[in-house]
Structure formats: C-alpha cells, structure tokens
C-alpha cells in the first residue's frame, strides 16, 4: 500500500517535471539553433539591422517594429471597446441586454483565428483600400483592426469578471449614498478593478504579439521597416511562417530562431509582468 502511494507520487511528480521541462526546452532549442548567429556576435546587430538577404543582411529590426506596432495598435483599439462593453455587461446594462451580450461575447471567443483572417481578406482589405485611396489594403491598420476584434471578447470577459469581484460592501456603500450606476462605475468599480484590468490588458497584449495568422494574411508581409499605418509590414510571427521554407543551413534560416527567441522573451516578460501586478493586488486586498 505504501509502495503504491510512493510510486503514484513519484509518477505524478515526474509528469510535472516533464511538463516544466517543455517550457525550458523550447527556449533552449531556440538558443541552440540560433547559436551560430549569437556566436558570430551578430545577434545584437541583427536586432537593429534591416532584412536584405541578397546583400547578407538578416536583421529582424523591421519585424520587431511591425510586431510592436500591430500588437499595440490592436490592443489600443480593443481597450476602450472592451471597457465599454464590460461596463455595460457588468454594471450599467439592463438585465436582458447584459445577458445577451455576454452570451454572444462568450461565443465569439470560440471563433478560430484563421476565420478572422479569411473574412478579413475579402471584407476588410477592400474597405481599407478604398477608404484611404492608397496602399493595397493589406497593411498595419487592417491587421490591427482585425486583431482588436480577436482579442476583445477575451478582454471583455476578463474585465467583466474583475468588475464582478469588487467587494459587495463597497457597492452597497455607494447605493446607500444614492449614487447612480455610472458614478458607481467611475468612483468604485474601476479603481478597485484597476489591477484586474491591467492584467487583462497584458494578457491581450501577449496574445496580440503572438498571433500569426492575422498578421500573415492581412498585413502584407513586406520586408521594409513600416513608415506609416498604411504600409505593408511583416511581423516576427509571419516572418517565421514565411522563411521556414528557406534553406536551413543558411543564416537566413537561423534568423527565424532569433525571432523565436525574441517572441519567447517578449511573452515571458509580459507573463512575469502579469504575475507582478497580480501579487500586488493580492497584497492590497488583504
């Protein structure tokens, strides 16, 4: 009996170690396979150089700029919309509206990314092209708009949950003082849920940085540093998807492992940042 227990415990802990090992191994592979670049001291210069394989430039600077631009613009567009919707769902809305909207939003979180990209090509790209009269319609703006639609449902649900977690006593206090719903929102709920909202924002940012399909299908994939919102651009994720087809002894190919490293580090920082904010909130609550 004791024996069984010990084996079970060892077995479970082995699984846990295996799972944890995956996290580390992913990063290790990126580093090992991108090593020739680091060894030749090019890793840092690659982060600030342009991408011209014909002349031997394998810099991923344009991709870094594009990733940050599309991700931050997408989240910036999604934030106010999500805030408005979450407020309506949790605080301001009449009951039936609140329920319907919540159901629809929950449904929208299940839509596959490739479908957003697919519809974007036929619906959004021509609209952007005709609206601005220049550019092919496949640009940073289009990708950011679709990305905003992608991350909004999850952000709304997250914000809504944060709003619901505000202590009842605070809400009761405002009601007792005769405050309206909007006043409740501005003076109690949002300040209280501030940390939760920050976490939701960062989760969305992580998701936006790591998204491949929308950027691949809607942003145009040009190799230059984008100069304006209507310029075609290539994100780190789309770059990996495109260059995977190249010759894999070449430095060109190894650059995608550098992209992988950069992406891994970006999202890890965001994750650690979320934990940090979460810890602060936990401490404050107590």
- Of 65, 66, 138, 199, the residue at the interface with other proteins (CB under 8 A) is 138
Q: Name residue, tokens 């030749």.
A: 40
- Of 109, 172, 177, 280, the residue at the interface with other proteins (CB under 8 A) is 109
Q: Per CB under 8 A, does 119 bind other proteins?
A: yes
- Of 64, 166, 213, 277, the residue at the interface with other proteins (CB under 8 A) is 213
- Of 111, 172, 173, 177, the residue at the interface with other proteins (CB under 8 A) is 111
Q: Per CB under 8 A, does 154 bind other proteins?
A: no
Q: Per CB under 8 A, does 4 bind other proteins?
A: yes
Contact indicator for 178, 111 with CB cutoff of 8 Å: no
Question: In angstroms, rounded to a whole number, what is the distance separating the alpha carbons of residues 141 and 200?
Answer: 23
Name the strand (E) or helix (H) holding 52. strand 51-52
Q: Per CB under 8 A, does 276 bind other proteins?
A: no
Contact indicator for 233, 66 with CB cutoff of 8 Å: yes
Q: Per CB under 8 A, does 35 bind other proteins?
A: no
Contact indicator for 50, 61 with CB cutoff of 8 Å: yes
Q: Please say which residue, 89 or 192, places its beta carbon nearer to other proteins.
A: 89
Q: Per CB under 8 A, does 11 bind other proteins?
A: yes
User: How many CB atoms within 10 Å of residue 60?
Assistant: 23
Distance of CA 206 to the CA centre of its chain: 3
Q: Per CB under 8 A, does 247 bind other proteins?
A: yes
- Of 48, 76, 107, 173, the residue at the interface with other proteins (CB under 8 A) is 107
DSSP conformational letter for 57: E
């Amino acid at each position: 009996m004791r024996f069984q227990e010990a084996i079970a415990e060892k077995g479970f802990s082995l699984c846990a170690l295996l799972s944890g090992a995956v996290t580390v191994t992913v990063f290790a592979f990126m580093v090992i396979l991108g090593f020739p670049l680091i060894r030749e001291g090019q890793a840092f210069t690659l982060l600030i150089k342009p991408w011209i394989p014909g002349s031997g430039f394998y810099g991923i600077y344009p991709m870094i700029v594009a990733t940050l631009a599309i991700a931050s613009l997408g989240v910036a567009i999604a934030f106010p919309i999500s805030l408005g919707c979450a407020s309506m769902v949790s605080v301001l809305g009449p009951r039936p509206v609140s329920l319907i909207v919540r159901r629809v939003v929950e449904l929208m979180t299940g839509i596959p990314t490739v479908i957003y990209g697919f519809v974007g090509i036929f619906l959004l790209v021509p609209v952007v092209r005709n609206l601005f009269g220049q550019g092919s319609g496949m640009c940073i703006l289009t990708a950011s708009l679709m990305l905003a639609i992608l991350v909004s449902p999850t952000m709304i649900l997250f914000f809504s949950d944060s709003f619901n977690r505000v202590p009842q006593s605070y809400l009761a206090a405002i009601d007792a003082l005769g405050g309206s719903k909007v006043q409740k929102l501005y003076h109690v709920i949002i300040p209280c849920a501030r940390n939760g909202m920050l976490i939701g924002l960062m989760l969305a940012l992580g998701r936006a940085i790591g998204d491949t399909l929308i950027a691949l299908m809607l942003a145009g994939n040009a190799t230059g540093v984008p100069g304006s919102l209507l310029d075609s651009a290539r994100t780190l994720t789309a770059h990996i998807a495109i260059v995977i087809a190249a010759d894999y002894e070449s430095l060109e190919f190894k650059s995608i492992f550098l992209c992988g490293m950069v992406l891994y580090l970006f999202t890890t920082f965001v994750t650690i940042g979320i934990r940090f904010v979460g810890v602060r909130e936990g401490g404050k609550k107590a």
